[in-house]
Amino acid sequence: MKNMLTKWLACVLVCCGGMAWCGGSVVPVGGYLYANEKKLDDAKGSLEVHFATPSPRRMVIALGRKYRKTRTSRDGTTEEQRENFKPRLARMSQNGTVASFTKMPPDYYDLVVIESQDMMLYDGLRLHDEFSEEEKPSADKLKEYTEQIAKSLGIGHGLIGRWEQFFDEKRINRVEPAGRQAGVFLQQMRLGEALAESGAKLQGCVHSIDVVWVEQTTDAEHTWQVINRQQLYRDEISSRAFFTYRYVDALHGIRVGTRAKVLHEPIVLPKAD
């Protein structure tokens, strides 16, 4: 009887572990998106970030600039090398008020903060390496580019199959143009029926958060084509609405060298209006 109970408990734990992401876990289904700390090259840099308010389901992601897909090609690299190029997922402590990263090579890092409990999303990313604030297009031109990119991605135009057919709802939160290219901060959702690898119907809604790099074509329709993509988050959660988005400058361009760096001043994350 004791052995049977032990096996039953083990089964429950395994099943629950497999379903933990249904409510938006701190380590989501797309955990493969992030660097495995055990496989990283040794680096002396580290970063500790403090936040002014707690959040039990806060995720903090660091994306270095040196090895982004627009700057460093993955061609000819090994799996071990590519592990170092991946986004870093912080270890959270003190009820989500402290985010810690280790083994960070010298670089400038931008942060993304995801709070699945409150459905809040914050970023401080530099979306395109060649974006210049001084040469930023006018508000009308930026709106025109955004509308063109949205149409090319199939947003709100009945063109779901244009890019990433799995996701039937998409929203652009921010665009940084650079010449004929642009970096796009994008949210995606799967509201239609979706199946797990086992064939079982997923009960929640699959969300994806991406940086997409697009390039303008020369056709008369002003089409933009996707040239690269960095997925930052993928998880199945109960909410069937987009995250409320805010840009936070304090999450932008944090320099990490060859020693420990601590941002003692807590970062204030604005809540929804």
Asked whether 96 and 63 are in contact (CB, 8 A), the reply is no
Tally of CB atoms within 10 A around 118: 14
Scan for tokens 């989500």, then name that residue.
96
Give the tens place of pLDDT for each residue, 92-115: 999 999 999 999 999 999 999 999
| Residue (of 186, 65, 80, 38) closest to 130 by Cα position | 65
* CB contact at 8 A, 251 and 111: yes
pLDDT at 72: 85
Short-list 132, 135, 146, CA closest to 212: 146
Please choose, from the candidates 1, 137, 70, 267, the residue with its C-alpha nearest in 3D space to the C-alpha of residue 148.
Answer: 137
* pLDDT-based confidence at residue 159 (cuts at 50, 70, 90): low
Q: What is the pLDDT of residues 203-241, one digit of tens each?
A: 779 999 999 999 999 887 889 999 999 999 999 999 999
> pLDDT band for position 37 (50/70/90)?
very high
Q: What is the DSSP string of 152-204?
A: HHTTTSS-GGGS-TT--EEEEEEEEEETTEEEEEEEEEE-S--B-TTSPBP-S
Q: Which amino acid, residue 261?
A: K
Residue 9 Rama label (left phi>0; alpha psi -120 to 50; beta): alpha
Question: Average pLDDT in the 40-66 region?
Answer: 96
Judged on CB neighbours under 10 Å (0-12, 13-18, 19+), 180 is exposed
Mean predicted confidence (pLDDT) in 179-188 = 95
Is the torsion defined by CA of 10, 12, 15, 20 positive or negative?
A: negative
- Strands 120-123 and 244-247 turn out to be parallel
